[in-house]
Structure 1
Amino acid sequence: MPPSSLRVVYAFAREMHPKTTDVFIQYGTAGFRTKASLLEHVVYRMGLLAVLRSRVKNGRTIGIMITASHNLEPDNGVKLVDPDGEMLEQSWEEIATRLANVSDNDLESTTAEIIKQVNSDMALKASVYIGMDTRYTSPRLAAAAVHGVMALKGTPKEFGIVTTPMLHFCVKCRNDNTYGTPTEEGYYEKIVGAFKNISQKLPVVGNYNTTLYVDGANGVGGKKLNIIKKSLDGELDLVLFNLGGNGGKLNLNCGADFVKVSQKPPVGIEHVPFQRVASLDGDGDRLIYYYVDDKNEIHLLDGDQIAILLASYITELLKSCGAQELRLGLVQTAYANGASTRYITQELKVPVTCVKTGVKHLHHAALSYDIGIYFEANGHGTVVYSKEAKNVVRKIAEEGEAEQRKAAQLLLNFIDVTNETVGDAISDLFLVESVLRARGLDVRDWAALYRDVPCRQLKVTVQDRNVISTTDAERQCTSPEGLQTKINELVSKYPSGRSFVRASGTEDVVRVYSEADTQESADKLAAEVAQAVFDLAGGVGDRPELPE
């Protein structure tokens, strides 16, 4: 494409999506995320970048998702999805940041520089899939993405309102037709269809009951489950709440992030003791289970417990198949509860890899196993299966002895329920329900597998999050000077004490995580570490306090 034909890039920017702010915005662990009012020019430019990425990948389809996930409604965001349904390749994050921040006057020349830098063949066709969540700002931002794709003569395809994992799934299917059909219906057909197959093979036994309450966070996930609900044929009775009506605001006092961080049940439902409840987040990629006991205390079953439940069942199926040669491993971050790591390594005898926070790091590490299970404690995760693992299980399903064939068929269905591209609340919900059903467990049985060490998360607002540097998968702080020494000193005062700090990937806050032998001690340790961060890392505003 000759430079003169890049004039339209500037024309679209100037006339329709001008850059009206000097606020620097960075592509973080979840793409760009900030107040929606600051994003229109950024999303337009991501349309441009998606076309270049598609051409660098020989015309394979790239995804653009408009979402701010678990953030509150005034925020929004955008992230790119690579051809295999994975996060954008890390080396392109700097390119995305540069393109997002240049002035409109420099946009044309910067686009030309990037074309040259990444060696994008502008004669190739380019395909971009665009999805959005339910925020009122999303349609306008999706239109900006479409204009960016058109400005560089790419072909946009809009999916409208979908969960983030649905868009990842469709991108993967478009580039690999053996994975499924790249439509919302194709997603239901594969994932829900496989869950129904499993359910039909497994009678309801023990303490399991088919009624599940689901908190939809007033977002897209609840809306999609409302569609799915009608096709479940009684295999799972979904009672849905927080579906966005009655003035309910997205992620406000509800949803997976609220439940996990505040350790409180969401608004919108009268809780019955020991009722099984699943909470999704706003864009449907995180899942937390919980129940409230007869003393009105909440018990969380978060990403750690989900990972353990899935790992124990897959291990059992592999044994029944006679396929123990396949290497199964679990990937966690520093946020994983210490008790979960001990249970996985000592009881399940499954290896654990610890990586930096961010799904891209977990996903990459999980690929080193034949079967890799990764979950962040916040409920974001999935299972990935190598081609070798699928082939081994498929062969047993066809040629093994009767009992082995039965277990292998179940595992093949389990693989099909899994959205391997990214953490997916709906897919993970069906995986969890499959295991609870197979084992005849209720939430109390599940919670009794092991007991979490009490923990607390806090955040401290700082002038510049980049003052915090870490090493050892974010478990040790290397700057500012003296902070790690202070953390070590505070931790040493508490039995079973553990604490770490890390900069947020999306905003100027420092996140503090602490564990100790009692909830009171965990709370106290978190508050003390937060105070140290405030003093040594340039805290602004009010001094950190514990949530009530």
Structure 2
Amino acid sequence: MDLEALKNSSALHPKPPGLALQYGTAGFRARAQQLDHIMFRMGLLAVLRSRAVAATVGVMVTASHNPEEDNGVKLVDPLGEMLHPSWEEYATQLANAEEEELQSVITEICQKAAVNQHKDASVFIGRDTRPSSEQLSQAVVDGISVLGGQYHDYGLVTTPQLHYLVCCQNTQGQYGRATLEGYYEKLSRAFTELMKQAPSSGEHQRHLKVDCANGIGALKLSEMEPYFPKEVLIHLYNDGTKEKLNHLCGADFVKVNQKAPRGLDLKPNERCCSFDGDADRIVYYYEDTSGHFHLIDGDKIATLISIFLKELLAKVGQSSALAVVQTAYANGSSTHYLQETLKVPVHCVKTGVKHLHHKAQEFDVGVYFEANGHGTVLFSKAAETKIRQLAKEEKDAEKRDAAKVLGNMIDLINQTVGDAVSDMLVIEAILALKGLSVQQWDAIYTDLPNRLLKVQVADRRAVGTADAERRAVSPAGLQEQIDALVKRHRLARAFVRPSGTEDVVRVYAEADTQEAADALAHEVALAVYHLAGGKGAPPQPI
């Protein structure tokens, strides 16, 4: 380590006095002007991580669904996973170190993580379309370079594409080629093969309106369009040429506001979907003939995929292989349908994609989606090997054909992380193969009415939870009050959890009517306010 070079380079990326940030599930996120030193230091950390694991790692400059003025950064581990939790602590430590401590913190990380500083280091970099991303990406490059790491800058890519590229690089091409063309070709080839099996293939064109949140998804879908079969017509809206990123559009806006994004004209019963700013989330929706808006969120996406995979797995004799992973935010109707009607095991974990991903890895086929539309499907090596073997060698035609469809599904799904482009193609293929309209998909089950609130508190740590955040263990008496309130309503459920990013406690409630869900949410919010040290005025009735 060239200490003089480190000192000089760090001086060009000074840490604002008094600023402390924490690496969380979404990496670092803040106003863009606060992040220059963070980016430089994450370049340093990426080199250390690469040396520790003797593999290529990734650095993605993005703030996903946050406003355009924000930015952020997250590191990608060798198989496209999120950064290992033990290294999240190192990231926070390095980010908050004062200038004069930088060298000693790097040395300490190297000692704790057994990093050989003489090894080669390789880092892939990607960024979203925010005006600040190019300059911040350069700060990452400065950090990589000063510690002697090698880098490949992919420039503008979706977050899932960077995860995919890192995985391809470290599996020596087994997962795919580490180029954008390789990504487009692998997904489009699998999608085209699946669409050939659709009952109405070639008879009419399938139209889909896509709200790209004025983000990177528009650019990458445009690049990918020539690869799509001619039966599929994708119409792009909010492509970033007129409006600001994520402004009154995108998956998060549609999910929270339960209405169509600005810039997309809804016609009755048209299939539409929205990406978020870095294209790792997707939600579908439509408007019925009476003008009523219908949201099809991550729960219904997981259900559609589970129905399809269960049928295919049963045909190839692997019906017990499937499990679904949800969080406490999953609508109770979806959990009930999966467990009672589809007879698929459902597991609940703490909020955060990393928890869902890790749990899904325990099964032969693990489907996971957050209600916000972030999710994917994981296939174990053993399950994938068996499926591909059956597709080649099985004598029974029906079994062999089912295995081939499953093989194409495996190729179409981005197993490294939730991917809006990949998930969109999976959904379109399933709807075509099953001959389902968007209304029929929506009608598989009816969501229980629900309400999400947040309560301002002096210290969110006053609320502690257990049982995948479904039970409050502190403050004393809170869970007993929630239980009593829930008993007053039919088909009711409620839970509270401290926010991971701000001093608020989030309240979720569902019941048999919207009025009951609203009332329950308000009652629980008042209980939190009184028992957990509420700030400001008490929550008002909805």
**TM-score after normalising by structure 1:** 0.95
The match for 1:71 is 66
Retained in 1: the 8 A contact 2:205–2:230?
A: no
Question: In structure 1, how many angstroms separate the alpha carbons of the residues matched to 2:197 and 2:282?
Answer: 25
- Residue 209 of structure 1 and its aligned partner are, at CA, apart by 6.3
Amino acid of the structure 2 residue aligned with 1:435:
I
Partners of 1:217 and 1:280 within 8 A in 2 = yes
Q: Does 1:338 align with 2:338?
A: no
Q: Are residue 217 (structure 1) and residue 213 (structure 2) matched? A: yes
Which moved further from structure 2: 390-399 or 485-494? 485-494
Question: How far apart are residue 545 of structure 1 and its match?
Answer: 5.6
Q: Separation in 1 of the partners of 2:517 and 2:268?
A: 26
Would the aligned equivalents of 1:253 and 1:266 in 2 still touch at CA under 8 Å?
A: yes
Contact 1:329 1:351 in 2 (8 A): yes
What amino acid sits opposite 1:402 in the alignment? Answer: A
Q: Distance in 1 between matches of 2:21 and 2:472?
A: 24
Q: Which residue matches 1:12?
A: 9
Is 2:199–2:435's contact at 8 Å kept on the other side of the alignment? no
Could you tell me how far 1:110 is from its partner in structure 2? 1.0
Offset, 1:205: 7.2
- In structure 2, C-alpha distance between the alignment counterparts of 1:74 and 1:467, rounded to whole Å: 31
Superposed displacement of residue 170, structure 1: 0.3
- What residue in structure 2 maps to residue 197 of structure 1? 193
Alignment partner, residue 369 of structure 2:
375
CA separation in 2, counterparts of 1:223 and 1:460? 38
Q: 2:354 aligns with which of 331, 350, 360?
A: 360
Q: Separation in 2 of the partners of 1:251 and 1:546?
A: 29
SS where residue 122 of structure 1 aligns? Answer: coil
**Separation in structure 2 between the aligned mates of residue 535 and residue 294 of structure 1, nearest angstrom:** 45
The runs of 5 or more residues in structure 1 that have no matched partner are none
In 1, Cα distance between equivalents of 2:189 and 2:45: 36
Is residue 16 of structure 2 the alignment partner of residue 49 of structure 1? no
Q: Evaluate the alpha carbon distance shift between residue 466 and residue 149 of structure 1 in structure 2; reply closer, same or farther with a 3 A threshold.
A: farther
Report what 1:154 is aligned to.
149
- Residue 25 (str. 1) matches residue 21 (str. 2): yes
Change (3 A) 1:243 1:527: farther
1:468 positional shift: 2.7
Superposition map of 1:490-509 within 5 A: 490-509=485-504
2:56–2:166 Cα contact (<8 Å) kept: yes
Partner residue, 2:257:
262
Residue 472 of structure 2: aligned partner: 477
Please say which of residues 24-33 and 412-421 is displaced more in the overlay: 24-33
Q: How far off is 1:387 after superposition?
A: 1.0
2:226 aligns with 230
Q: State the distance in 2 between where 1:137 and 1:466 align.
A: 33
Give 2:302's aligned residue: 307
TM-score by length of 2: 0.96
C-alpha change, 1:503 and 1:227, in structure 2 (3 Å) is: same
**CA offsets per residue over residues 109-168 of structure 1, 9 Å max, x none?**
111111111110011000011111111111121111111111211112111111100000
Counterpart residue number, 1:272: 267
Give secondary structure in 2 for the equivalent of 1:230: helix
The equivalent residue for 1:126 is 121
> Deviations along 1:151-202, whole A, 9 cap, x unmatched?
2111121111111000000000010120001111111111122111211232
Report how many residues are paired. 540
Equivalent in the alignment of 1:108: 103
Distance verdict in 2 for CA 1:519–1:228, change over 3 Å: same
Aligned 8 A contact 2:337 2:445 in 1? yes
Alignment correspondent of 2:384:
390
Counterparts of 1:387 and 1:360 in 2: how far apart (Å)? 20
Q: What's the offset of the Cα at 1:101? A: 0.8
Given that 2:412 and 2:425 are in contact with CA atoms closer than 8 Å, whether structure 1 keeps it comes out as yes
What are the residue-to-residue correspondences of 1:389-428 with 2, within 5 Å?
389-400=383-394, 401-428=396-423
Q: Distance in 2 between matches of 1:186 and 1:542?
A: 55
Whole-angstrom CA distance in 2 between matches of 1:458 and 1:100: 32
* Paired residue type of 2:228: L
Shift of 1:206: 13
Contact kept? 2:32, 2:69, Cα under 8 Å: yes
Q: Structure 1 residues 122 and 358 mapped into 2: Cα distance closer, same or farther (>3 Å)? A: same
Q: Is the 8 A contact 2:283 2:297 kept in 1?
A: yes
Distance 1:171 1:134 in 2: 20
Q: Render the CA deviation track for 1:360-400: whole Å, top value 9, x for unaligned.
A: 11111011101111111111100011111111111111111
Is 1:240 matched up with 2:236?
Answer: yes
Structure 2 CA distance for partners of 1:184 and 1:534, relative to 1, 3 Å: farther
Q: Percent identity?
A: 52
Post-superposition shift, 1:353? 0.9
Q: Secondary structure at the match of 2:411?
A: helix
Partners in 1 of 2:339 and 2:440 — Cα distance?
Answer: 20
**Counterpart Cα distance in 1 of 2:492 and 2:469:** 17
218-227 vs 457-466, greater mean Cα deviation: 457-466
- Spell out, residue by residue over 1:417-438, the C-alpha distance to the aligned partner (whole angstroms, 9 max, x if none): 0000001111000001111001
Letter in 2 for 1:215: D
Structure 1 residues 426 and 478 mapped into 2: Cα distance closer, same or farther (>3 Å)?
same
Distance 2:276 2:512 in 1: 29
The answer as to whether partners of 1:208 and 1:436 remain within 8 angstroms in 2 is: no
Instruction: After TM superposition, give the deviation of residue 328 of structure 1 in Å.
Output: 1.0
Q: CA deviation at 1:409?
A: 1.0
Distance 1:62 1:274 in 2: 43
Residue aligned with 1:512, SS: strand
Partner of 1:183: 179
Aligned partner of 1:351 in structure 2 is 345
- Conserved? CA contact 1:208–1:442, under 8 Å: no
Per-residue deviation, 1:542: 5.8
Greater length-normalized contact order (CA 8 Å, ≥ 6 residues apart) = 1
Shift in Å, 1:223? 2.1
- Given that 1:188 and 1:228 are in contact with CA atoms closer than 8 Å, whether structure 2 keeps it comes out as yes
Matched, 1:430 2:425: yes
Task: Please give the alpha-carbon distance, in whole angstroms, between the structure 2 residues aligned to 1:540 and 1:147.
Answer: 43
Find the residue that maps to 1:80 and give its secondary structure: strand
Query: Which of the residues 496, 500, 517 maps onto 1:522?
Result: 517
Contact 1:323 1:392 in 2 (8 A): no
Q: Which amino acid aligns with 1:232?
A: F
User: Which residue pairs with 1:168 in the alignment?
Assistant: 163
Q: 1:237 and 1:353 mapped to 2: Cα distance?
A: 37
Check conservation: 2:71, 2:132, Cα contact below 8 A. yes
Q: After the TM superposition, which of the residue ranges 18-27 and 367-376 deviates more from structure 2?
A: 18-27
Query: Structure 1 residues 539 and 219 mapped into 2: Cα distance closer, same or farther (>3 Å)?
Result: farther
Q: Does 1:80 align with 2:78?
A: no
- 1:537 aligns to what? 532
CA contact (8 A) 1:40 1:144 kept: yes
Worse-superposed segment, 465-474 or 482-491: 482-491
User: In structure 2, what residue type is equivalent to 1:7?
Assistant: E
Kept in 1, the 8 Å contact 2:201–2:231? The answer is: no
